[in-house]
Amino acid sequence: MLSINKQEISNLLLLNYLSSLHSVREKLRLFENKYHTSWENFSDSLKAKNEEDFQELDDYIEWKAYLKISDELTHKIHEIRHGYFEIT
């Protein structure tokens, strides 16, 4: 029988989430570089425009989704680092 302890599982999960977070943050940097601004400034300027730019709207949706994923991964990493999970 194979025996795996909680620490081994947490290390594997942590590595997986950190890798995913790195990829997501790279996507966020690409948007910041593309528009030469932060999410907040981009969002504000897009909302203030009178005409629609579908490429910017698509980027807005994608950028916002990556921000949400980043927040979720950061939360999961915090919980794993502090042992706030259980194995069922």
pTM of the predicted structure, to 2 decimals: 0.90
Whether 71 maps to a domain, the answer reads: yes
Whether 86 maps to a domain, the answer reads: no
DSSP state string for the chain: -----HHHHHHHHHHHHHHHHHHHHHHHHHHHHHHTS-HHHHHHHHHH-SS--HHHHHHHHHHHHHHHHHHHHHHHHHHHHTT-----
Question: Quick one: pLDDT at residue 64?
Answer: 98
Give the Cα separation of 75 and 73 in Å (integer): 5
**For residues 7-28, average pLDDT:** 96
Q: Above 90 in pLDDT, residue 17?
A: yes
Question: Quick one: pLDDT at residue 2?
Answer: 82
Whether 59 maps to a domain, the answer reads: yes
Whether 88 maps to a domain, the answer reads: no
Whether 41 maps to a domain, the answer reads: yes
Domains contained in the chain, number: 1
Whether 76 maps to a domain, the answer reads: yes
User: Which pLDDT band, with edges at 50, 70 and 90, does 37 fall under?
Assistant: very high
* Domain coverage including residue 41: 6-81
Whether 1 maps to a domain, the answer reads: no
